[in-house]
Amino acid sequence: MAYSTYNTNNGFAQAGGGTANALFLNSKLTPNSISFAQAAGGANVAEVTLQLLDGAGNALERAMNVEIWLSDAATGLGITGTTASGTVTAKTASGTVLTALTAKKHIIAQTKTDGTFILEITDTGNTGFYVAATCPTTGEIVVSDAITAYGA
């Protein structure tokens, strides 16, 4: 993606003359949001892919730390009151959990260099959690749809 060349050291630039702002800090394009995609994994497993996005909504290929939690609210406010019956962790070779802040509910994760992290939720109750995350640059809380893609 080509961005205007004016002051991209620290500030905003617009992609290809568009209107979507891309945030640059220290001459590096930084995430402006996070997208979510869910897929069924093994039995009672939901896989939720988080993708860092730039200001124009393009996938951002960069490793960063992201705070992720399960919520009961579509707004992402608060941590769920329900504990998953199994693990809440990174899918194998799909990012790294740096620390679990609240067991089976709240983690600090590190994306792969392609800007993705796949959260694997194992829950025999197939709970409709919302996956919430804090965008590492903006601090904005972004939230998935309710999780429904558990494997059979």
Question: Which tens digits make up the pLDDT trace of 31-77?
Answer: 889 999 999 999 999 999 999 998 778 899 989 999 999 999 999 99
| pLDDT tens for each residue of 5-41 | 444 555 555 555 555 566 655 556 778 899 999 999 9
CATH fold label, 31-146: Immunoglobulin-like (2.60.40)
Write out the residue limits of the CATH 2.60.40.10 domain(s) in the chain.
31-146
pLDDT of residue 84: 98
Q: Which residue has the tokens 């080509």?
A: 2
The amino acid at 108 = I
Cα separations (Å) of 77 from 14, 24, 31, 65, 142? Answer: 31, 28, 21, 20, 10
Q: How far apart are CA 23 and CA 14, in angstroms?
A: 9
pTM metric for this prediction: 0.85
Token pair for 123: 């829950």
In degrees to the nearest 10, what's the CA dihedral of 103, 40, 78, 95?
Answer: 60
Of 13-27, 71-85, 94-108, which range is least confident? Answer: 13-27
Q: From its phi and psi, is residue 56 left (phi > 0), alpha (psi between -120 and 50) or beta?
A: alpha
